[in-house]
Structure 1
Amino acid sequence: MKNLKFISLLVLILTSINHYSQQKPPVPKIKISGIVIEKVSKQHLEYATITFTNGTSTKSIAGGITNPKGEFNIDIVPGTYDIKIEFISFKPIILKDRKLLEKTNLGLIALEEDATQLNEVQVRAEKTTVDIKLDKKVYSVGNDLMVKGGTVSDVLNNIPSVSVDAEGAISLRGNENVTIFIDGKPSNAININEALRLISADAIDKVEVITNPSARYDAEGGAGILNIVLKKGKNQGFNGTFIGGLGTPKNNSLSGTLNYKTEKYNLFTNQGYADRLALGNALYETNYLNPKPNSPSYIKEIRDIEDNSKSYNGNLGIELFLNNSTTWTNTLNYRNSNEENLDDVNYDNQYADPSKNDTRTRVSNEENKENDVEFKSNLQKKFKKDGHKLDVDVQISNNNEKEIADIVDSENGNDFTENKQKNTRQLYQLDYVLPFGKGSQFEAGYRGSFVDQLTDVSVFNNGVINTDFTNNLEYIENVNAFYTQYGLKVNKFSYLFGLRWEDTKVNVNQLSNNDFNTKKYNNFFPSAFVTYEISEESSLSLSYSRRITRPRGRLINPFSNYSSNINIFQGNPDLDPAMSDAIDFGFLKKWGKFLLSTSLYNNRTTDAFLFVRINSGSEVNGVPVIISTPINLATENRLGFEFNLNYSPYKWWKLNSNFNFFNVDTQGDYTYTDFNNVEITQNFDQKTTSWSARLNSKVTLPAKIDWQTNMNYFGDQKTAQGKFIGIFAMNLGFSKDVLKDKATLAFNVSDVFNTRKMKMETLIPGVIESYSERQRNVRQFTLSFTYRLNKSKNEKEKQPRREMEEGGGDMPG
């Protein structure tokens, strides 16, 4: 028995030793890195695939994809592998039997395009509509069904954090002090909101939303920057996309993007023509609190607005690859539009004595012609060290606009207005980037912007010139700027510190009355960014920047519109720039199928712009004329919280949402002399809160039909003299690929419930109490057809690094 126990114990020990000897300790992994580039242009390739297999099996053991800089970092177990590097339409590279026993950098891996694949239609995994990063949001237009056949304004109105109101005014996080760039440079358009309506949505590649820009950016725009990136086809050979659309109310458009690329050059063009009818309307209900005898105590003003526009927008560009390190790009852009606007106003006048009630009409027929020519040139020199480069940019543009209106008033006769505007802009920019050491980078640059705008306005009442609204205004703005930045990375912390200096000289000259006004000022604009990488899936960031908002356009133009002669908007030539300090604390987290981005932000603005309504002292048939005008107020403090969430519960269902809540604390007094020569001081101290929410859902139905729904809501917001009332709107879109996926048929409905109206309540104590609403365009149905020539539906263009850095939102200057 003892021998049996001994034998049993010995067997147990030997078995245990054998068992534990087979459970080897885990082998520590090593990191394999490298950079994938295109052989000819040396541009970095994002989304290239790296696969590790052993020599005896084709089954993948490890792998990954490259980031926007073409870099990859993959952890593997030490051993001998075959490494395959591939990118769609390129010849793959296979590194056979590579012994990888320690941390290894494979260096630059150059892929060559495969000419045999250029004419094949290849379907690539679809990228999310909104790509969220700590410092910006990237909105990819190609996947959005809502904007097919639309304009840039339609695109912006579908972007998280961005809204476009009934007047076309653009705001970011509820703040209208936002700067608009096109391809990383300011537009020379006299009215940027109107100019964006001339550019087809199909011409846009993506939009960058940068809420807190660094010192390398133009300091203009207290709310941040929106950069609209146009398509510039970059695929080898001949490629193109053609889109035609029909809609009701009339929304007819035809556009095309073409490019032809060789090893020496890339020739590209985007052409678009549109014939559109916008049917708008407006309502103003005004109670006069102290009406004069025989004057109305209540007026209901109803407007029906028809905006017929025919527009053309086209560009032609050539990208020359002078050598492996130097690229020279030249682009010529031309825009032209002809608009005919009918503004039919009906007044219902009610008196204390109902027997005196009457009605009158005021019909305005307006013609607007505009043309814009713009030339842009960029020379980029890349040096041997990765990221070491020099960029030189020149932009010269000229914009002309002429607007005339014949106004027939059933009670007051005929009015005639003429508004001629000319705008020229010259922009010169130099940017230098020098990486050094490990994770450090120095940047410096210059930017000179020179604007000259002339506005000549004439108003005639029954053939007699009205000197109150006739004006010849000259606006000259010269801004010279220098900036420098230093960035470094220490362990999990990344730092970026910058300083920008801008010297500004502005002349606002009212030539009609020889009133010349010159303003000179120079400012420093510091910025600081700190990012902490908690893990590969989550990060924290803290940023600060100082910004400026210079008054331009309709804000300073004493005359704007005369379609109503009792409710008039008037610019203020004496406005000063507003200065803002912005702090943003962000958190980014990825887990599973979720991507969450949150931001706590604070903007403090001095000399903030505020719109006030005052009694002008003038009357039309006993009715006081109310003037709306902007003023500088003391301070505005805006504190808000925003989050964005991307979620794909299934391959066939994608969701992204945005929520923004903010509080605005305004402090300031406004003192002015009224029409009775009495000095009046109004206190505009107020606190208000508001919020907005947006939900976008995209579902792939049976038969590969895509269905997209977009819903957004903007909450109530108090103003100094009333409040804006909340707005809800919803859009629908459907699409189906046809002709073996070479074409797409899409149908969308804009403003399904016809509720996208700007509504406002106003109270001027002792003068008026009013309610107003305005709708830019009624519900619209659009059908579009897209055909792709030698280009796949979801193919990501292989853009040179310059565009990924500048056009993608990382614009220097």
Structure 2
Amino acid sequence: MKTNYLRLMMGIVSICFFNTLTWGQKGLTIEGKIQDADSQQPIPYATVKIVNAIDSAVVGGTTTNDSGQFELQVKVPNFFLELSFIGYFKDTISEFPSENGYVDLGTIYLNKSVQELDGVNIQAEKSTVEFQLDKKVFNVGKDLSSTGASALEVLNNVPSVNVSIEGEINLRGASGAQILINGKPSVIAGEQGNALGTITADMIERIEVITNPSAKYDAEGTAGIINIVLKKEEKKGLNGSISLNTGAPHNHSLGLSLNYRTEKFNLFSQLGAGYRSMPRYSENISTDLINNTSVISDGLNYRNENFYNLNLGTDYHINDRNVLTLSGSVALELEQQPSTTNFSFQDSTGNIVSTWQRTETTEAVNPKYQYDLIYKSTFKDNKEHTLLMSAQGNFFGKDQSSEFFNRIVSGSDDNSQQRTSTNFQERKQTFSVDYIKPFKKNFKLEAGSQYVIQDVSNDYAVSDFVNGEWVQDLGLTNVFDYNQNVLGLYATGAYEGKKYGLKMGLRAENTDLLTVLKTTNEKNDVNYSNLFPSVHTSYKINKRFSLQAGYSKRIYRPRLWDLNPFFNISNTYNIRTGNPNLMPEFTDSYELSSIFIFKKMSLNVNAFQLYTTDVVERIASFENNVTTTMPENVGTKRSTGLEMNMKYTPWKKLDIQGDVNYSYFKRDGELNGTVFDFNASQWSTKWTAKVKLPHNFDLEVTGNYQSKYQTVQGNVSDMLFMDAGVRKKLKKGKAVFSLSVRDVFASRIRTVETFQGNFYNFSESYRGRFITLGFSYGFGKGEAMQYTGGRR
């Protein structure tokens, strides 16, 4: 025992002596990055002091740059670093694992000091954009545009992203982006109506926009990837926030967030309940150009919902290097869809021959649940040397019944009555393994696999009321089964130096898809394997100017509703249906970006080109005054564009952020003897001004414009609309009153025209103005946050 003790002491003395000699010769080079612990935004101009451990004297130091990064040289043997910034608690670092005289501390997080915040302008309050090797990161602050908002409204404030009034998400003007939650597919980000409404603005930490994804990511999504990263509170003790919202049209909700954190456990929960009403106005004209007759309709449709959401989870820190996370969420929506549509039939002379009114009464129960089990292990040699294993399960169900009644107002047609029933169930399970191994200080290897199992069943029936009884329509009744399994394997290698970075990767995926119409026994069984390479590079010319370039190959697999041949009979003259024989799109994506950082302004300019094969387009056909729209694979599309994002802060109380996107595309294609070749362009812009007013009032105004653009059969109109909001803080930010107005002038109107040789179709829809008034209060160490379960 004594011998071992002496050996240990001699070893320590030898190490200290060797380190003293080494220090005397060259010392250490230390790098790191300082970020806000809550928002994970960089903290510029934070102070990093070198403190002598013997007498506590400051012997050197530096400050962080605009990106929160710092580098310094240390030539004293016994020291520690002290990190500080106004409004934050100080932090000290005393362990410095070095390799060849170099120490990379990675990212260091500072926590806000609540007592010091009064009267201080904290930059982390604002949503900001930062750029990484292969993505843009939008850090979500307490923007007024997020007040009383859902994830869709937050997305609509992100540069490069636009959300239509129907909830369709476009990335740089193109649909097909894959939506992820915490880096993984989720039922919340699926296509079943308003599932993203269960994510609220206060739950979102940041949104990552990956227009040219590396091979590490699922190859799904030709337009790229949008990853919504949710918050996990880092404050120890009990923290929480309660929120109350009300609005017109009806948008009432109550939300409660609770978090309890200890050294070993982090318990987090969110509970929400409310009622929302979402009206939609629509007008449609279908004209038979051969017989010169028209069917004209206009109406008001509602989606009214009572909703209940519960999210629970825990992080268990097994030890310093192993963490186990288990989380789950359940949601229930009780849905009603009352609607009234007025129809009229116009003959070739322009006279109205008959008019009738179609009413709909729909009720649905929509249960949802999700679970996540994640294990993360950090190896002893390097904190970036990690192994991540995860399992995720999702379920979405819909039990819906609808009744439709046609009441004749004038003319000779008879009254008619129909009803439908839907039993829909979707289960999705995702299993993944990711391994990251850094080599020295600049090289990193990543490898992993993912297996996704998706099973869907949709039992759909239509019945007509004939001679006093319900008779099932066998031509419209069937059971549609959809089963898709995707296996993916990937490997990437990356080098990141002070000025130059390179990342290369390859992903292999196999897709096995089977769709079955059970009643008629129609099957579509496809199996295909593909390789998806990616290359990304960056060059930092100086602190204010950088260049990035990238290439990746992507896939867009047909979604369930693209394949499902059944349709909603709300409007029997304007039908949308799926195509079970649809094939996937493939896209080659090229991108070149430049980043300029000035004292009061940052500017990002992207040039890009996308080449897509087997493009999925919705093609309309016309017969007996009925327009049927079905997705088809129609040729190729080549898009070339330019995108600019700018943020300008002329003075402390004013921020201006702008986004301009222009693309020119060439379409080549043919379907059933019809040629769809044409060239066209489209552009969009979005500008936001944020102003700090006296007495703790804040004001934000956002203006959007989307240009008119051509489609394969017609065109889509332009849109100009504005959102605005105001907020008042009380009790040092613990309490917040807010008022937001969506579509201030009710001008967000979408018009679609289809021009063909034998028919013309016109449709117009809009939702109108939405006003939300909210109050929230934070307790413990929690901050006031806004909550709503609603999607607009």
State TM-score, norm by structure 2: 0.87
1:401 aligns with 2:402: no
Please name the residue that 1:805 is paired with: none
User: Which segment is superposed worse, 184-193 or 202-211?
Assistant: 184-193
1:3-28 superposed Cα distances (whole Å, 9 cap, x missing partner): xxxxxxxxxxxxxxxxxxxxxxxxxx
Please name the residue that 2:434 is paired with: 431
1:33 touches 1:105 (CA, 8 Å); kept in 2? yes
Amino acid corresponding to residue 419 of structure 1 in structure 2: T
1:456 aligns with 2:453: no
Closer, same or farther in 2 for the Cα pair 1:323/1:634, shift >3 Å? same
1:419 aligns with 2:415: no
Please name the residue that 1:15 is paired with: none
Whole-Å separation in 2 of the counterparts to 1:760 and 1:110: 49
Please name the residue that 2:474 is paired with: 467
Whole-Å separation in 2 of the counterparts to 1:484 and 1:111: 28
After TM superposition, list the pairs within 5 Å mapping 1:768-783 onto structure 2. 768-775=759-766, 777-783=767-773
Whole-Å separation in 1 of the counterparts to 2:146 and 2:701: 12
Please name the residue that 1:24 is paired with: none
1:251-304 superposed Cα distances (whole Å, 9 cap, x missing partner): 11121222111111111112222311112100112332122xxxx723321020
Closer, same or farther in 2 for the Cα pair 1:74/1:654, shift >3 Å? farther
Q: What is the deviation of 1:46?
A: 6.0
Q: Which of 501, 507, 515 lines up with 2:522 in the alignment? A: 515
Task: Report the structure number with the largest CA radius of gyration.
Answer: 1
Closer, same or farther in 2 for the Cα pair 1:682/1:318, shift >3 Å? same
1:784 aligns with 2:774: yes
Whole-Å separation in 2 of the counterparts to 1:46 and 1:30: 27
Does the residue aligned with 1:185 lie in a helix, a strand or coil? coil
Please name the residue that 1:585 is paired with: 592
1:337 touches 1:369 (CA, 8 Å); kept in 2? yes
Does the residue aligned with 2:148 lie in a helix, a strand or coil? coil
Whole-Å separation in 1 of the counterparts to 2:141 and 2:594: 28
Amino acid corresponding to residue 772 of structure 1 in structure 2: S
After TM superposition, list the pairs within 5 Å mapping 1:184-333 onto structure 2. 184-188=183-187, 191-291=191-291, 297-333=293-329
2:32 touches 2:71 (CA, 8 Å); kept in 1? no
Percent identity reads 30
1:365-415 superposed Cα distances (whole Å, 9 cap, x missing partner): 111221111110110100123211100001122221122211111245111
Amino acid corresponding to residue 123 of structure 2 in structure 1: E
Whole-Å separation in 1 of the counterparts to 2:273 and 2:784: 24
In structure 2, the gaps of 5 or more residues are 1-25, 95-99, 409-414, 786-792
Please name the residue that 2:82 is paired with: 84
Closer, same or farther in 2 for the Cα pair 1:54/1:199, shift >3 Å? closer
Please name the residue that 2:658 is paired with: 657
1:733 touches 1:746 (CA, 8 Å); kept in 2? yes
Please name the residue that 2:7 is paired with: none
Amino acid corresponding to residue 634 of structure 1 in structure 2: G
Closer, same or farther in 2 for the Cα pair 1:552/1:93, shift >3 Å? closer
Q: Which of 705, 719, 741 lines up with 1:713 in the alignment? A: 705
Please name the residue that 2:6 is paired with: none
2:661 touches 2:683 (CA, 8 Å); kept in 1? yes
Q: Between Structure 1 and Structure 2, how many residues are aligned? A: 734
Q: Which of 414, 438, 441 lines up with 2:444 in the alignment? A: 441
Whole-Å separation in 2 of the counterparts to 1:256 and 1:66: 38
1:727 touches 1:758 (CA, 8 Å); kept in 2? yes
Whole-Å separation in 2 of the counterparts to 1:701 and 1:356: 57
Please name the residue that 1:700 is paired with: 692
Please name the residue that 1:72 is paired with: 70
User: Which segment is superposed worse, 650-659 or 55-64?
Assistant: 55-64
Amino acid corresponding to residue 181 of structure 2 in structure 1: I
Whole-Å separation in 2 of the counterparts to 1:120 and 1:543: 43
RMSD of equivalent CA atoms: 3.3
Amino acid corresponding to residue 637 of structure 1 in structure 2: R
Closer, same or farther in 2 for the Cα pair 1:351/1:109, shift >3 Å? closer
Whole-Å separation in 2 of the counterparts to 1:266 and 1:35: 26
2:575 touches 2:626 (CA, 8 Å); kept in 1? yes
Q: What is the deviation of 1:71?
A: 6.1
Whole-Å separation in 1 of the counterparts to 2:105 and 2:165: 51
2:50 touches 2:74 (CA, 8 Å); kept in 1? no
Please name the residue that 1:129 is paired with: 127
Does the residue aligned with 2:490 lie in a helix, a strand or coil? strand
User: Which segment is superposed worse, 195-204 or 652-661?
Assistant: 195-204
After TM superposition, list the pairs within 5 Å mapping 1:517-556 onto structure 2. 517-556=524-563
Whole-Å separation in 1 of the counterparts to 2:34 and 2:723: 40
Amino acid corresponding to residue 723 of structure 2 in structure 1: N
Closer, same or farther in 2 for the Cα pair 1:179/1:193, shift >3 Å? farther
Q: Which of 394, 399, 407 lines up with 1:410 in the alignment? A: 407
Please name the residue that 2:387 is paired with: 390
Please name the residue that 1:643 is paired with: 644
Does the residue aligned with 1:186 lie in a helix, a strand or coil? coil
State TM-score, norm by structure 1: 0.84
Please name the residue that 2:162 is paired with: 163
2:284 touches 2:763 (CA, 8 Å); kept in 1? yes
2:640 touches 2:665 (CA, 8 Å); kept in 1? yes
2:605 touches 2:642 (CA, 8 Å); kept in 1? yes
Please name the residue that 1:349 is paired with: 345
Q: What is the deviation of 1:470?
A: 1.9
Q: What is the deviation of 1:199?
A: 3.1
Does the residue aligned with 1:733 lie in a helix, a strand or coil? strand
Q: Which of 682, 685, 692 lines up with 2:677 in the alignment? A: 685
Amino acid corresponding to residue 699 of structure 1 in structure 2: V
Does the residue aligned with 1:197 lie in a helix, a strand or coil? helix
Closer, same or farther in 2 for the Cα pair 1:652/1:80, shift >3 Å? farther
Does the residue aligned with 1:755 lie in a helix, a strand or coil? coil
Does the residue aligned with 2:695 lie in a helix, a strand or coil? helix
Q: What is the deviation of 1:658?
A: 0.3
Closer, same or farther in 2 for the Cα pair 1:713/1:782, shift >3 Å? same
Amino acid corresponding to residue 373 of structure 1 in structure 2: Y
Amino acid corresponding to residue 763 of structure 1 in structure 2: F
Please name the residue that 1:633 is paired with: 634
2:323 touches 2:375 (CA, 8 Å); kept in 1? yes
Q: Which of 728, 731, 738 lines up with 2:730 in the alignment? A: 738
Closer, same or farther in 2 for the Cα pair 1:452/1:408, shift >3 Å? same
Amino acid corresponding to residue 453 of structure 2 in structure 1: F
Amino acid corresponding to residue 550 of structure 2 in structure 1: S
1:723 aligns with 2:730: no
Whole-Å separation in 1 of the counterparts to 2:777 and 2:213: 37
User: Which segment is superposed worse, 142-151 or 529-538?
Assistant: 142-151
1:275 touches 1:310 (CA, 8 Å); kept in 2? yes
1:231 touches 1:270 (CA, 8 Å); kept in 2? no
Q: What is the deviation of 1:150?
A: 2.5
After TM superposition, list the pairs within 5 Å mapping 1:103-182 onto structure 2. 125-127=122-124, 128-134=126-132, 135-182=134-181
Closer, same or farther in 2 for the Cα pair 1:75/1:712, shift >3 Å? farther
Q: What is the deviation of 1:794?
A: 9.6
Whole-Å separation in 1 of the counterparts to 2:51 and 2:527: 69
Please name the residue that 1:50 is paired with: 47
1:146-196 superposed Cα distances (whole Å, 9 cap, x missing partner): 232222222222222112223221111111111111121111356255211
Closer, same or farther in 2 for the Cα pair 1:37/1:769, shift >3 Å? closer
Whole-Å separation in 2 of the counterparts to 1:437 and 1:425: 39
Q: Which of 578, 595, 603 lines up with 1:571 in the alignment? A: 578
Whole-Å separation in 2 of the counterparts to 1:303 and 1:588: 48
2:505 touches 2:533 (CA, 8 Å); kept in 1? yes
Closer, same or farther in 2 for the Cα pair 1:764/1:108, shift >3 Å? closer
1:169 touches 1:193 (CA, 8 Å); kept in 2? no
Whole-Å separation in 1 of the counterparts to 2:695 and 2:135: 35
Amino acid corresponding to residue 213 of structure 1 in structure 2: P
Q: What is the deviation of 1:331?
A: 0.3
